[in-house]
């Protein structure tokens, strides 16, 4: 996957040679495509964003400039074709980028220090570029909508790769799982609701929501005063979204039960289709007796499978409490790749050590873990397949090779489109980029 990302980035962005010496200049227009301008600061901002993301090696300023020229050409055509981007889409992408940068650099304070600007200023500086990138992506999708690749093209692509270009594939596994959740007692649920009602009353009486979130919330956003940022309905738990979208700005909800636990929610800001909320989350405690009961139930199910009373897949359908995998017989799907293959490093610690010692076809003993919502769960895993680390090959890694080959074909289609469009598009390139050797030579001629 590293090679896949590298090829996608290098083919679209990287050119040579890089500018070996570039004089300092104040901000100004360094390129014009149609009615759209490229500023020197645009290139500097892109460079700093890539640096903040930890991209190595960093692309040259020439390559970033060519990428921005290509984006402006795509945006220019998108505007001609009346392609629209909603404000909510831009805000969501901005928030995702800021969150990513914070995770990469370590904290919000470090990000602010790195850019020398507040989070609001960073987002405003990025807003137009993000809108243009969404427009560009939509235009690019239209251009490549009919792109497809045949098995013979995939084979030819792979056979023409240099030995050093063939990716190394880490060990990968495919698993099925059965999950049993221990239940909370009614007393524990009642206790959580009582606490949340008391906290809500304190907020209504004037206490600070964020302070109380830091003190009492069980959610990962507690350290941020319960702030989970901007989100659309589809980004949120359905019950949370329904309650939050019904609020007025500043209003605090009644107790809301979601898949994560019990919340009180405060609406901070809203647009037509997105909301900015914070919440206090509490989860009922699970008793030792409830854990023992769930583990014993799962142990009984695994014993039935081992004496051939039923298959793992049927047991998952009948007994698993995981709605995401139950109806597929417990098959776990990798949300990042869309397929069923995982690297061992993709799993949390307990699953990692469980899988590390399993042989293909074996079923693990029940073990305690947490799900993606932070809930306690007991799991048993069937290791369906495992590959050893290897050089990519068509038999084991056809889908990956096909994806790389298709991306390269799409790049070629877009390059041809750009070359054709440049025949009838006004382009002006200013210093210090006039001497760049662009990947698409037509830019230099302009």
In the 3-class helix/strand/coil scheme, how is 272-301 assigned residue by residue? Answer: CCEEEEEEEEECCCCCHHHHHHHHHHHHHH
pLDDT of residue 9: 38
pLDDT at position 2 = 41
Please, which pLDDT band fits residue 307 given cuts at 50, 70 and 90? very high
Please give the average per-residue pLDDT across 309-329, as a whole number.
94
How does pLDDT run across 258-271, given as a tens digit for each residue?
999 999 999 999 88
Give the confidence band of 128 by pLDDT, cuts at 50, 70, 90.
Answer: confident
* Pairwise pLDDT comparison (57 vs 8), residue with the higher score: 57
What would the mean pLDDT of 252-256 be, rounded to a whole number? 96
Please check whether residue 40 is in contact with residue 437, taking contact to mean a CB–CB distance below 8 angstroms. no
What pTM, to 2 d.p., does this model score?
Answer: 0.62
Q: For residues 374 and 180, what is the distance between their CA atoms, to the nearest angstrom?
A: 14
Q: What is the pLDDT of residue 225?
A: 93
pLDDT digits (tens, 9 = 90+) for 324-369: 999 999 999 998 888 899 998 899 888 999 998 899 999 999 999 9
Query: CA distances (Å), 60 to each of 9, 63, 87, in order?
Result: 13, 5, 31
Q: Answer yes or no: is pLDDT of 25 > 80.
A: no
What's residue 446's pLDDT? 65
pLDDT confidence of residue 26: 53
Q: Which two tokens stand for residue 176?
A: 């099925």
pLDDT at 19: 29
- Selected residue with higher pLDDT from 444 and 202: 202
Residue range 388-425, pLDDT digits in tens: 889 999 998 898 899 999 999 999 999 999 999 999 89
CA atoms within 13 A on the CB side of 171: 10
Query: What pLDDT sits at residue 241?
Result: 95
pLDDT at position 12: 35
Domains defined for the chain, CATH in brackets: 2-152+393-445 (1.10.4030), 171-183+287-388 (3.10.50.40), 186-282 (3.10.50.40)
Report whether 149 contacts 402 (CB < 8 A).
yes
- DSSP β-bridge partners for residue 369: 377
For residue 200, what pLDDT band results from cuts at 50, 70 and 90? very high
Q: What is the pLDDT of residue 89?
A: 86
Q: Which residue has the higher pLDDT, 199 or 2?
A: 199
Cα–Cα dist 1/10, whole Å: 14
Distance CA 191, CA 385 (A): 45
- Give residue 36's pLDDT: 87
Note the pLDDT of residue 338: 84
């Amino acid at each position: 996957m590293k090679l896949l990302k590298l090829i996608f980035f290098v083919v679209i962005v990287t050119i040579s040679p890089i500018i070996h010496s570039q004089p300092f200049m104040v901000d100004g227009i360094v390129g014009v495509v149609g009615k759209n301008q490229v500023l020197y600061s645009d290139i500097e901002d892109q460079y700093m964003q890539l640096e903040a993301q930890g991209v190595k090696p960093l692309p040259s300023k020439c390559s970033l400039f060519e990428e921005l020229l290509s984006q402006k050409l795509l945006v220019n055509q998108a505007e001609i074709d009346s392609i629209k981007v909603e404000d909510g889409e831009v805000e969501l992408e901005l928030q995702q980028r800021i969150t990513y940068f914070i995770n990469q650099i370590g904290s919000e304070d470090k990000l602010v220090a790195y850019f020398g600007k507040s989070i609001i200023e960073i987002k405003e500086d990025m807003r137009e570029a993000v809108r243009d990138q969404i427009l560009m992506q939509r235009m690019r999708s239209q251009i490549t909508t009919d792109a497809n690749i045949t098995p013979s093209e995939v084979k030819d692509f792979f056979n023409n790769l240099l030995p050093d270009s063939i990716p190394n594939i880490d060990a990968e596994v495919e698993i099925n799982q059965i999950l049993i959740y221990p239940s909370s007692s009614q007393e524990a649920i009642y206790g959580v609701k009582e606490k949340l009602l008391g906290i809500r009353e304190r907020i209504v009486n004037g206490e600070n929501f964020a302070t109380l979130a830091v003190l009492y919330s069980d959610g990962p956003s507690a350290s941020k005063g319960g702030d989970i940022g901007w989100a659309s309905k589809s980004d949120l738990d359905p019950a949370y979204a329904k309650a939050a979208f019904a609020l007025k700005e500043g209003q605090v909800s009644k107790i809301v039960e979601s898949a994560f636990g019990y919340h009180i929610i405060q609406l901070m800001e809203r647009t037509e289709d997105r909301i900015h909320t914070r919440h206090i989350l509490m989860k009922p405690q699970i008793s030792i007796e409830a854990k023992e009961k769930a583990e014993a139930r799962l142990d009984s199910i695994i014993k039935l499978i081992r004496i051939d009373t039923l298959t793992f897949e049927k047991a998952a359908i009948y007994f698993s409490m995981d709605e995401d995998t139950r109806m597929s017989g417990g098959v776990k799907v990798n949300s990042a790749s869309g397929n069923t293959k995982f690297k061992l490093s993709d799993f949390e610690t307990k699953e990692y050590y469980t899988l590390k010692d399993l042989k293909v076809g074996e079923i693990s003993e029940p073990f305690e873990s947490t799900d993606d919502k932070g809930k306690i769960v007991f799991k048993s895993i069937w290791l369906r397949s495992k590959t050893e680390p290897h050089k990519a090959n068509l038999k084991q890694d056809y889908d990956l090779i096909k994806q790389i080959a298709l991306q390269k074909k799409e790049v070629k289609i877009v390059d041809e489109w750009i070359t054709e469009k440049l025949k009838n598009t006004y382009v002006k390139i200013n210093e210090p980029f006039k001497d760049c050797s662009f990947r698409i030579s037509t830019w230099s001629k302009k």
